[in-house]
Amino acid sequence: MSDLPRKAVTRTAKLAALPLGFAGRATWGLGKRIVGESAEIVGRELQQRTADQLFKVLGELKGGAMKFGQALSVFESALPEEVAGPYRAALTKLQEAAPPMPTRTVHTVLRERLGDDWQELFLEFEDKPAAAASIGQVHRAVWHDGREVAVKVQYPGAGEALLSDLNQLSRFARLLGPLIPGMDVKPLITELKDRVSEELDYGLEAQAQRAHAEEFDGDPDVVVPDVVHQCEQVLVTEWMDGVPLSEIISDGTEAQRDRAGQLLSRFLFSGPARTGLLHADPHPGNFRLLPGGPRGEDDWRLGVLDFGTVDRLPGGLPEPIGEALRMTLDGEAEAVYDMLRTEGFVKESIELDPDAVLDYLLPIIEPARAEEFTFTRGWMRSQAGRIADPRSPAYQLAKQLNLPPAYLLIHRVTLSTIGVLCQLGATVRLREELEEWLPAFVPEDLVEEEPAAEA
């Protein structure tokens, strides 16, 4: 048996302790306010204590608990620094590692899926896992043809644990809201649940990874390992070294941070245009910086891993995204509002002031206005705080906007990527990538006038 805590009573007990702890801290906070402490100070202390317990429990579990933790972790830039600081190391561990499966369990899965002679497929196989994630762990090995490979082995019972955790988390999603200002975590949990079957299907993951590996083969900026072998519960891909993005976030140079941010932005927007697929799990554990970019050994390329969650976009990113962004930058309030109504972001039963909608959007798209933009945690916190403050017009307007299902995953991936860029503190020429890869995005101030016809 795996050491993944699969039994419902065990996992439920761990997760059920969270809302009980939240309730206890809320009572503690009320007492502090009664004796005269500032509500803001008490609120920060509550947030810090809540985050402490949440990440402690999520870090002990795999399955949906860890999946939720990974998705949440990219938004730590939105937390006040005094709250985010102590948990940054814990979040990085959550992105990169988890308690391993016993060796006997790994061998059992490989024997069941690859056959009794599975060891003959490898010249070498390291029993100690090189990495672990929410539904499986990765072992370094040498394939029988001499290639270094990564062998991803799915945890037995991963699907059951994934759904059980997410169902449990959804029951008290409202209590998690204060952790990330301006973010409703319930749709995030719902979307993760909707993706469970895809996440567990290594056949779909292999298809998506092969498509990217083929398209980016020889690319000067992006590297995707090819698929070597795939069967149920086991996925073998080419091994990729490199510096994990989490290490660049914690210890990278300014040049590395900027390069990583530029390439991450490029991959986000170019992927759908080139493959019809959007990599939908952009947490730092899924990316590496590799030496030897187009300008030599001192340059870097972006290595991309884990294609278990993708959004299928055969025509690339939807054109209305580029059109709405262009019109917003050009200040066309009525046109933007009409577009949002047409696409379902504003329901027919709701009337909003187009100018107020434009004022709400402009600060969010600030990175697309400048020739280059430096993403910072401070900027992220200011955006989150603006939307989370009940006294703010932005808060009132945000409550009336709708997120159509077709845009849900695109929205989450974009927000997550921005969160990673802010963790990197990267200076990025985002507008350059939008002009190159986002359909229908050509701001009027960039449109060159047609040359006058010769007489």
CB atoms within 10 A of CB 454: 4
- The b/e string for 84-122 (b: 16+ C-beta within 10 A; e otherwise) is beebbebbbebbbbbebbeeebbbbbbeeebeeebeebb
pLDDT at position 8 is 47
pLDDT at position 389 is 78
pLDDT at position 220 is 93
The dihedral over CA atoms of 203, 208, 210, 214, expressed in degrees to the nearest 10, equals 170
Question: For residue 304, what is the DSSP state?
Answer: E
Q: Which H or E element spans position 133?
A: none
pLDDT at position 383 is 87
Alpha carbons 450 and 116: distance in angstroms, whole number: 69
Contact 51, 83 (CB under 8 A): yes
pLDDT at position 4 is 46
Residue 215 is encoded by which pair of tokens?
């398209």
Q: What angle do CA 140, 141, 146 make, to 5 degrees?
A: 140
pLDDT at position 175 is 58
- The b/e string for 301-317 (b: 16+ C-beta within 10 A; e otherwise) is bbbbbbbbbbbebeebb
pLDDT at position 48 is 55
φ and ψ at residue 85, rounded to 5 degrees: -50, -55
Beta strands 227-231 and 277-279: pairing type? unpaired
The sign of the torsion formed by the CA atoms of 80, 81, 85, 90 equals positive
Alpha carbons 94 and 67: distance in angstroms, whole number: 9
* pTM exceeds 0.95, yes or no: no
φ and ψ at residue 243, rounded to 5 degrees: -95, 120
pLDDT at position 277 is 97
pLDDT at position 366 is 94
Question: For residue 233, what is the DSSP state?
Answer: T
Contact 67, 162 (CB under 8 A): yes
Alpha carbons 60 and 49: distance in angstroms, whole number: 17
Alpha carbons 237 and 107: distance in angstroms, whole number: 18
pLDDT at position 412 is 85
Contact 57, 68 (CB under 8 A): no
CA 437 vs. chain centroid, Å, equals 20
Q: Which H or E element spans position 340?
A: helix 333-343
Type of residue at 5? P
φ and ψ at residue 238, rounded to 5 degrees: -60, 145
Alpha carbons 240 and 209: distance in angstroms, whole number: 14
Q: What is the mean pLDDT for each group of 10 consecutive residues in the chain (455 residues)?
A: 46 50 37 38 48 57 56 59 55 55 92 96 96 83 98 85 70 58 63 74 96 96 97 96 93 95 96 96 91 74 94 93 95 96 92 95 93 93 82 87 86 90 96 94 54 39
Contact 25, 46 (CB under 8 A): yes
Residue 310 is encoded by which pair of tokens?
């993708």
Contact 234, 207 (CB under 8 A): no
Alpha carbons 198 and 196: distance in angstroms, whole number: 5
The dihedral over CA atoms of 268, 273, 277, 283, expressed in degrees to the nearest 10, equals 0
pLDDT at position 133 is 66
pLDDT at position 3 is 47
CB atoms within 10 A of CB 180: 21
